[in-house]
RNA sequence: GGCGUGUUCGUCCAGUGGUCAGGACGUCGGAUUCUCACUCCGGAAACACGGGUUCGACUCCCGUACGCGCUGCCA
């Protein structure tokens, strides 16, 4: 304990492998790592574990970067920003790994193992044991003669880690003390016979080399921690690192069942939520709630507030189910809290994607959008819902048709006198304002025809906006303009 | 099978020996209202089970049940 005075800076890492699209569980892990580091002013290392040639892809790598950028989760070292431990793409670190493996082998921390799976299984059975117990450490003390005999047979050895013969215990940052009994983890393969180092080797080695102090990862990795610690101890003995990091195992994010949200499940795709119209801050807020809470009586917070308050020790150890409804509600409150200009520009790409507006709207369209934005902002939970709300405003008159379901509800034969009266009173207006429209409609329909407001306005609403659900009617009509509004009423009348 | 881990309203999170067990989403009812939404008010809704320890357990211990994860020369 001579070095106690030096308090190493906190360094966490986010080390996904680029297979498929970014998973919300993965992002939750990234978020917690990020918040943990930011809370204490530590560093975030982003390392890409692209050593599975069969499954990794460049597109997937790009989408990982895109996902983190979209969410605003930044990193201090890694792709595109560099850092003192380059390279940060694991596939480029092969020679480093081979060198460490060589040193570990020279120190007898790694040993040559020739056993085939069949042989291991046969020995387990012969001993009356369950073959599922795995490797039996048979090759630990092979003599040179035995090894030579295997080689003479044409067999090439894998390299296995000599696991410690003692219990392995650590204090998990989220779960407390965890112990695995000595002998419960068979000596794991670290390097293939063909010389390719494997994930269980390369991941801890890179963590050690990069000075990672805290490993926060999914609960599914918990059973692999003993071999990780075993490797770390060996690495310390040969002087590659001076310490073993702290571990914290985050609860699983589950889907509708209580099983881990599958990579295949569309619900697990981060971009699915962006497409639905989640705001980065809304999604992040919800993700933060999966295993953590900022306070007993508050669920709504910004990323800044999150990392300011984040405490890994307060993370729950229960699996958390992804609840879309709650996520939407959280997003809705972030959406409503946005300054209207920001809401408008956030909604624009969705409107363009739905063909409601061109990608480059005209000045007039921009003005119209700005005018209606405050009316729709408070009735959305997701940006993708904006299209149906405002489509009527931007639709060309020739192509405008009320939605069939809404028309069936409100534009039946009963609607005829209502529409007629509405048209008459509106045509008489010389001033086209919300107030004037409201007065005209109220006097002609409610007072004049003696209808209940609900009955009176439904046909007008559907005729003008095309839907039974719309932004406020009078304001909508004012924005639409007198000619277009009355034109739509006339056409509805013709169809009624 | 073995090892590990988990178990508070339908869901997520609080609660760390004495609370009418709290909040949020959802749900139900109501108010407001031109629809929807927002907002507001109110209701229903949980400590897996069994033993201990204790004057007293949701809280501590043990066991059972059930869930989940891992058990690869994938990552």
Catalytic residue (choose from A263, A314, A326, A409)? A263
Question: Which residue in A488, A463, A473, A464 sits closest to A412, CA to CA?
Answer: A463
Terminal Cα distance for chain A, rounded: 88
Q: Does any strand B atom come closer than 7 Å to the Cβ of A171?
A: no
Q: What is the pLDDT of residue A496?
A: 58
Å between A225 CA and B6 C1'?
Answer: 18
Determine the nucleotide nearest to A189 by Cα–C1' distance.
Answer: B73
ipTM metric: 0.95
State yes or no: cis peptide before A87, omega within 30 of 0.
yes
**β-bridge mates for residue A179, sequence order:** A169
Blockwise average pLDDT, block size 10, chain A, 496 residues: 55 96 96 98 97 90 97 97 96 96 98 96 93 94 97 97 95 95 95 96 98 97 97 98 97 91 91 97 98 94 97 96 97 97 97 96 96 96 97 95 93 93 96 96 94 92 96 97 97 82
The reply to whether A219 has its C-beta less than 7 Å from any atom of strand B is: yes
**Torsion sign, CA atoms A374, A376, A379, A380:** negative
Gap from A13 CA to B56 C1', Å: 47
The answer to whether A201 CB sits below 7 Å from nucleic acid chain B is: no
Report CA(A373)–C1'(B29) in Å, whole number: 32
Closest residue by Cα to the C1' atom of nucleotide B1? A130
Do the annotations mark residue A147 as ligand-binding? no
d(CA A140, CA A138): 6
Antiparallel, parallel or unpaired: β A246-250 and A214-218: parallel
According to the 3-state scheme, what is the secondary structure of A300-366?
CCCHHHHHHHCCHHHCCCCCEECCHHHHHHHHHHHHHHCCHHHHHHHHHHHHHHCCCCCCCCCHHHH
Query: Residue A494: what pLDDT?
Result: 83
| CA–C1' A129–B70 (A) | 19
Active site residue A181: no
pLDDT at A3: 39
3-class DSSP state for residue A262?
coil
Å separating the CA of residue A117 from the C1' of nucleotide B75 = 21
| Proximity of residue A36 CB to strand B below 7 A | no
CATH class held by domain A339-394: mainly alpha
CA distances to A232, A263, A278 from A487, rounded to whole Å, are 77, 51, 36
Q: 3-state class of A97 per DSSP?
A: helix
Would the Cβ of A260 be found within 7 angstroms of any atom in strand B? yes
- Which residues in 329-358 of chain A line strand B, with CB less than 7 A from it? 329, 332-333, 336
Question: Who contacts A156 (Cβ-Cβ below 8 Å, separation ≥6)?
Answer: A193, A194
Contact, A71 vs A77, CB < 8 A? Answer: no
Q: Locate the domains of chain A by residue range.
A: 7-81+251-337, 92-250, 339-394, 398-495
Protein residue with the closest CA to the C1' atom of nucleotide B72: A189
Indicate left, alpha or beta for A294 from its phi (over 0: left) and psi (-120 to 50: alpha): alpha
Nearest nucleotide from residue A379 CA, by C1' atom: B37
- Rounded, the Å distance between the CA of A452 and C1' of B30 is 21
Q: Which CA-bearing residue is nearest the C1' of B34? A: A457
Q: How far is the CA of A57 from the C1' of B46 (A)?
A: 46
Q: What CA–CA distance (Å, rounded) separates A105 from A101?
A: 6
CB atoms under 10 Å from CB of A290, counted, come to 25
Closest among A429, A430, A418, A431 to A464, alpha carbons compared: A418
Classify A7-81+251-337 by CATH class: alpha beta
Bases of chain B within 7 A of a CB of the protein:
1-8, 10-15, 22-26, 33-39, 67-75
What is the spatial distance between Cα A172 and Cα A161, in angstroms, rounded to a whole number? 23
- Between strands A110-113 and A158-161, the pairing is antiparallel
Query: Could you check: is the Cβ of residue A418 within 7 Å of any atom of nucleic acid strand B?
Result: no
CATH of domain A92-250: 3.90.800.10
Provide the token pair at A354. 């739905």
A251 nearest nt, CA–C1': B6
Is the CB of residue A457 inside 7 Å of nucleic acid strand B? yes
Q: Tell me how far apart the alpha carbons of residues A120 and A462 are, in angstroms, rounded to a whole number.
A: 74
* CATH top class, domain A398-495: mainly alpha
pLDDT (0 to 100) of residue A5: 40
Nearest nucleotide to A456 (CA to C1') is: B34
- State how far the Cα of A52 lies from the Cα of A91, in Å rounded to an integer: 9
């Amino acid at each position: 304990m001579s070095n106690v005075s030096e308090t190493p800076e906190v360094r966490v890492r986010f080390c996904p492998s680029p297979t498929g699209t970014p998973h919300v569980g993965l992002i939750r892990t990234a978020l917690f790592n990020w918040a943990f580091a930011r809370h204490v002013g530590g560093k975030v290392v982003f390392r890409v574990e692209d050593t599975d040639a069969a499954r990794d892809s460049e597109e997937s790598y790009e989408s990982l970067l895109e996902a983190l950028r979209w969410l605003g989760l930044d990193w201090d070292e890694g792709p595109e920003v560099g850092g003192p431990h380059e390279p940060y793409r694991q596939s480029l670190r092969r020679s480093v790994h081979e060198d460490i493996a060589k040193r570990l082998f020279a120190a007898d921390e790694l040993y040559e193992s020739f056993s085939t799976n069949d042989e291991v299984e046969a020995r387990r059975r012969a001993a009356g044991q369950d073959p599922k117990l795995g490797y039996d450490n048979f090759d630990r003390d092979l003599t040179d003669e035995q090894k030579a005999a295997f080689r003479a047979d044409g067999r090439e050895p894998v390299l296995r880690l000599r696991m410690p013969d003692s219990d392995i215990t650590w204090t998990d940052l989220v779960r407390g003390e965890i112990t695995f009994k000595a002998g419960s983890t068979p000596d794991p393969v670290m390097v293939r016979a063909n010389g390719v180092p494997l994930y269980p080797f390369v991941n801890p080695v890179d963590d050690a080399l990069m000075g990672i102090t805290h490993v926060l990862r999914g609960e599914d990795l918990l059973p692999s921690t003993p071999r990780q610690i075993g490797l770390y101890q060996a690495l310390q003995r040969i002087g590659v690192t001076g310490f073993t990091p702290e571990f914290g195992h985050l609860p699983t994010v589950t889907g509708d069942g209580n099983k881990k949200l599958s990579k295949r499940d569309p619900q697990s795709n981060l971009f699915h939520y962006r497409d639905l119209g989640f705001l980065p801050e809304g999604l992040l807020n919800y993700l933060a709630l999966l295993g953590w809470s900022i306070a007993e009586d508050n669920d709504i917070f910004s990323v800044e507030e999150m990392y300011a308050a984040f405490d890994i020790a307060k993370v729950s150890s229960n699996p958390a189910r992804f609840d879309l409804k709650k996520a939407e509600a959280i997003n809705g409150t972030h959406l409503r809290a946005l300054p209207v200009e920001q809401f408008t520009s956030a909604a624009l790409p969705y409107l363009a994607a739905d063909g409601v507006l061109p990608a480059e709207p005209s000045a007039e369209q921009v003005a119209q959008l700005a005018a209606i934005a405050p009316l729709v902002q408070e009735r959305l939970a997701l940006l993708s819902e904006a299209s149906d709300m405002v489509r009527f405003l931007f639709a060309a008159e020739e192509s405008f048709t009320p939605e069939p379901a809404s028309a069936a509800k409100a534009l039946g034969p009963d609607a005829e006198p209502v529409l007629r009266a509405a048209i008459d009173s509106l045509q008489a207006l010389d001033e086209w304002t919300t107030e004037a429209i409201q007065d005209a409609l109220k006097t002609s329909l409610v007072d004049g025809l003696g209808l209940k407001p609900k009955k009176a306005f439904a046909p007008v609403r559907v005729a003008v906006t095309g839907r039974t659900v719309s932004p406020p009617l009078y304001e909508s009509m004012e924005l639409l303009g007198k000619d277009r509004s009355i034109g739509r009423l006339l056409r509805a009348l013709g169809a009624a």
